[in-house]
């Protein structure tokens, strides 16, 4: 779920800025400053307006989320209840990303296909279940992969720790990847292994650990708006590792396969996911998107989203993490 950053009485240095917003100058999706928030409040129903025809277009069915036992008991109230725990948000703002505060992107040559999974640095897709914690899953997954790229073990880190302890978010009721990254960067909290602090699919009291506790803390992160610059986004992926992105995924709950080229019906950010790669070998180039709805959803837990047209706003709010 995507929600506005929580306004805390404790104004720490990790609070997101509220100034410096600029109008959109990029192509692709029409959006205001609200569109770029990436705040996961998944509490609106999807709009039942998908089409099936072109084999290159993603297969989306209206019969309910296939392979999603966690939602099997939900009543089919026009599709709205089925999507309630996963999708749809009231839009919120996010800051524009000044170049001065970003890590420069190396000018690397782009292959026709690249996927960090081929390097064995991406964990299996997890399932957020009845918890609107996409914002935490995407951030933790990015940190896991970045550690592995540097030669460290590919461990499962605690998503529940981020859900419980990132005070400027709303736990399973939603949150912001940018806010979570800002909190991790400023507090230097060490993420412990999932086995030490397992996922419970509900909010809990934050557990604190001594400084001597082993864990992973981040060194920094960079946030980008790559609308109209998806080749630069691909270079960032190659250079930095899997990227956290915010999308309009209102219609994704029934995705079965193919390349998503349309079907972004809400016009606002509502779901956080991880991009692990891209493929330009066919007629329709696409991003390879790691979701958090279990491996029975989509293509073994992944979706393919068309590159180049900012489909579903996939290039609007992109974050890279450094450990």
- What amino acid positions are annotated as catalytic residues? 134, 271, 291
H-helix segments, the chain: 80-83, 134-149, 159-165, 177-187, 230-240
Residue with tokens 């915010």: 246
Given the DSSP bridges, would you call strands 220-224 and 318-322 parallel, antiparallel or unpaired?
Answer: antiparallel
Residue whose C-alpha is closest to residue 216's, from 256, 282, 162: 162
Residue whose C-alpha is closest to residue 272's, from 145, 179, 156, 197: 179
C-alpha–C-alpha distance, residues 308 and 168, integer Å:
33
C-alpha–C-alpha distance, residues 121 and 117, integer Å:
6
Please check whether residue 228 is in contact with residue 99, taking contact to mean a CB–CB distance below 8 angstroms.
no
Backbone angles phi, psi at 239, to 5 degrees: -80, -35
Please check whether residue 175 is in contact with residue 135, taking contact to mean a CB–CB distance below 8 angstroms.
yes
C-alpha–C-alpha distance, residues 48 and 57, integer Å:
16
C-alpha–C-alpha distance, residues 181 and 233, integer Å:
19
∠253-272-92 over CA atoms, to 5°?
A: 105
Burial class (CB in 10 A: 0-12, 13-18, 19+), 153: exposed
Q: Which SS3 state, helix, strand or coil, does residue 123 take? A: coil
57 contacts: CB under 8 Å, gap ≥ 6:
51, 258, 259, 260, 261, 262
């Amino acid at each position: 779920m995507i929600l506005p950053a929580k306004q805390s009485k404790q104004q720490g240095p990790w609070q997101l800025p509220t100034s410096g917003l600029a109008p959109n100058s990029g192509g692709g999706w029409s959006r205001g400053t609200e569109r770029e928030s990436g705040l996961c409040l998944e509490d609106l129903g999807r709009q039942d307006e998908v089409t099936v025809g072109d084999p290159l277009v993603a297969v989306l069915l209206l019969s309910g989320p296939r392979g999603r036992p966690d939602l099997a008991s939900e009543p089919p109230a026009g599709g709205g209840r089925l999507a309630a725990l996963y999708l749809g948000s009231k839009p919120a703002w996010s800051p524009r990303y000044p170049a001065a505060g970003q890590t420069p992107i190396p000018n690397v040559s782009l292959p026709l296909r690249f996927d960090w999974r081929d390097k064995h640095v991406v964990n299996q897709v997890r399932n957020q279940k009845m918890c609107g914690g996409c914002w935490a899953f995407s951030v933790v997954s990015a940190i896991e992969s970045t550690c592995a790229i540097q030669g460290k073990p590919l461990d499962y880190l605690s998503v529940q720790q981020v859900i419980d302890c990132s005070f400027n978010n709303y736990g399973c009721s939603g949150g912001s990847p940018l806010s979570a990254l800002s909190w991790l960067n400023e507090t230097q909290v060490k993420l412990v292994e999932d086995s030490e602090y397992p996922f419970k699919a509900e909010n809990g009291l934050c557990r604190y650990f001594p400084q001597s506790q082993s864990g992973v803390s981040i060194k920094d992160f960079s946030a980008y708006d790559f609308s109209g610059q998806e080749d630069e986004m691909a270079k960032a992926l190659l250079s930095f590792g899997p990227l956290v992105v915010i999308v309009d995924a209102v219609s994704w709950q029934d995705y079965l396969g193919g390349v998503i080229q349309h079907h972004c019906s809400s016009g606002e950010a509502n779901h956080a996911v991880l991009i692990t790669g891209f493929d330009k070998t066919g007629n329709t180039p696409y991003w390879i998107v790691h979701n958090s709805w279990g491996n029975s959803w989509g293509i073994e837990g992944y979706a393919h989203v068309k590159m180049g047209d900012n489909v579903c706003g996939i290039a609007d709010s992109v974050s890279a993490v450094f450990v």
